[in-house]
Structure 1
Amino acid sequence: MATPVLVFDIETVPDVAGLRKLWELSDEVTDDAVVELVSQRRRQATGSDFFPTHLQRIVAISCVLRAGGETLRAWSVGGAEDGERELVKRFFEGVDKYVPTLVSWNGSSFDLPVLHYRALIHGVQAGSYWDLGEDNKEFKWNNYISRWHLRHTDLMDVLAGYQNRAWAPLNEIAVLCGLPGKLGMDGSQVWPAYKRGEIEAIRNYCETDVANTYLLYLRFQHMRGALSPESYEREVALFRTFLADQTAPHWKEFSDAWK
């Protein structure tokens, strides 16, 4: 692949500190009570207790990087002990360094808006990401911000023909394509796992999610003719080689589930 590809996924929890500010709740109210109170009021107002993007706090960012030669990495940004600002900062530093094609599943509607708001809150710079052609003229015609540019390829959005009613869940499409799908947990279990201090489990889950997305991206590139059948098989084999070299249990589980 001539242009580096960076597939990414984030995991989030309710921004309890932000909720306290907005709802003027004291520290005497427990975190659980804060989340439950706001959830109830959102259900009453909207019919859903899912928090909007500006009230999500990032606890994990996982990536697959496919660069020149045989370079392929899959990892979670930063360490389990790092705060949100450091995770967001490192992610955008990676975008500045590689200027990659960003790939996501539902990134346009969720992951990137969350990253935008958290970068704004924490004062994180992201020059290359926000370039619309002022510095790099190529970005005028293909940038990360436009919904219809492929410098950020939101697979869910593209495959749905940019029709929201045709959006499909990552897990279901992955399984239909013979991939493992979600392993370990799903998004609804991240907040309870975070409260139990299981940040490594969240990061592992995020990594397998991003692996599913990367493998779907390879299939998409083959479908649109950007990868020949032979090139596609080589890319798949390279990822299988990566998996074979991993010792972490979540990668072994992923490999075993990928027939």
Structure 2
Amino acid sequence: MSDSVAHLIFDVESIADGELISRVRYSGEDLSPDEAIAKYQAERLEQTGSTFIPHTFQVPIAVVVAKVTADFQLVDIKSLDEPEFRPHVITKYFWQGWEMYNMPQWVTFNGRSFDIPIMELSAFRYGISIPKWFDDSGYKSRRNRFSTHSHLDLQELLTNFGAARFNGGLNLAAQTLSKPGKMGLSGDQVQSSYDAGNLKEISDYCRCDVLDTYFVFLRCMVLTGKLELERELELVEQTRQWIEAESETCQACADYMTQFGDWRNPWLAETTEANEENDEAEPSDTESVESPQAE
């Protein structure tokens, strides 16, 4: 086993910047931040069927990161700047941690279009310098959309960079593997949860998404030939035990375990059924001895 962190699996939950929305979208209307958010959400609901506001008007309020070794073992999961959840500190820790671990691969689900851009824009907003991410090396650049070395977006892997749609998102991918999927909140409910003062609930929701992403990541490694299925199942069991141990002090892990399921292995099932059929078909020792006497 290599103890070095080679992958950072993460998820971002964010809230709208009401002051910015008021200034940019409703200049001259003298709307309060809450009024501006409510008005924009109403517009978005009418236009898209969702109240979710674009990431350009948002700031991160919870970022959870899982540290994973080169041989795909989960080391730890951290919610950045918990329990304060300060957006500028979260952003600093996010990029600072990436450099501290020697710039490992980011792993997300749909992070190319949301999670990474919002963390880049947050660095812009808060004056955080990240030159190693914005390296100018042409097609080898870490920000190159097709550079999976620096950032592996599992949704893009499963859709061939958007050639197909992945209807169902992370929830579908996780539940395909009998893992919990969405629990409690959804992305468009984070704002109302924040308004109600439930920051820990948002962080816990984010943590569960990261666990789901880890299990989807493992299966994607099987899919791409980087991991044997038998080893993946061993890692899943190890992680289940780790989550159970964490459940003693982590409510999110305890909640996750209530919905944790075992993926049904069809190869194992077929082997077991075939063995049972063979056992039934073969005569027993008693039958082979008694049959001639019966004749």
TM-score surpassing 0.5?
yes
- 1:132, CA displacement in angstroms? 4.1
Preserved CA contact (<8 Å) 1:64 1:72: yes
CA distance in 2: counterparts of 1:67 and 1:143, whole angstroms? 23
Closer, same or farther: CA 210–143 of 1 in aligned 2, 3 Å: farther
- Does 2:158 correspond to 1:156? no
CA distance in 2: counterparts of 1:228 and 1:171, whole angstroms? 24
- Does 2:132 correspond to 1:128? yes
Amino acid aligned to 2:63: I
State the SS of the aligned residue for 1:62.
strand
Which has the greater radius of gyration? 2
Indicate the residue corresponding to 2:273 in structure 1. Answer: none
Structure 2 residues not aligned, in runs of 5+: 262-295
- Does 2:86 correspond to 1:83? yes
- Does 2:103 correspond to 1:95? no
- 1:231, CA displacement in angstroms? 2.9
Indicate the residue corresponding to 2:272 in structure 1. Answer: none
- Does 2:70 correspond to 1:74? no
CA distance in 2: counterparts of 1:249 and 1:86, whole angstroms? 24
Amino acid aligned to 1:179: K
- 1:173, CA displacement in angstroms? 1.6
Preserved CA contact (<8 Å) 2:51 2:188: no
Closer, same or farther: CA 71–171 of 1 in aligned 2, 3 Å: closer
Indicate the residue corresponding to 1:137 in structure 2. Answer: none
State the SS of the aligned residue for 2:83.
coil
Structure 1 residues not aligned, in runs of 5+: 134-139
Calculate percent identity across the aligned residue pairs: 25
| Higher RCO (C-alpha 8 Å, min separation 6) | 1
Closer, same or farther: CA 258–85 of 1 in aligned 2, 3 Å: same
State the SS of the aligned residue for 1:107.
coil
C-alpha root-mean-square deviation of aligned residues, in Å?
2.4
5 Å-filtered alignment, 1:1-259, equals 4-22=6-24, 23-24=26-27, 29-42=31-44, 49-67=51-69, 72-98=75-101, 99-133=103-137, 142-150=140-148, 151-163=150-162, 165-168=164-167, 169-246=169-246, 247=248, 248-259=250-261
Amino acid aligned to 2:186: D
CA distance in 2: counterparts of 1:237 and 1:89, whole angstroms? 34
Moved more, 219-228 or 202-211: 219-228
CA distance in 2: counterparts of 1:164 and 1:52, whole angstroms? 23
State the SS of the aligned residue for 2:64.
strand
After superposition, give the CA deviation of every residue in 1:4-47 in whole Å (9 maximum; x if it has no partner).
11001000111112112213367x74433211222344567777
Q: TM-score, normalised by structure 1?
A: 0.87
Amino acid aligned to 1:190: V
Closer, same or farther: CA 237–46 of 1 in aligned 2, 3 Å: closer
CA distance in 1: counterparts of 2:47 and 2:254, whole angstroms? 44
Closer, same or farther: CA 142–213 of 1 in aligned 2, 3 Å: farther
After superposition, give the CA deviation of every residue in 1:140-190 in whole Å (9 maximum; x if it has no partner).
665431121112011011101112651331111211221110112111211
Amino acid aligned to 1:12: S
Closer, same or farther: CA 19–226 of 1 in aligned 2, 3 Å: same
Preserved CA contact (<8 Å) 1:7 1:64: yes
Closer, same or farther: CA 252–30 of 1 in aligned 2, 3 Å: same
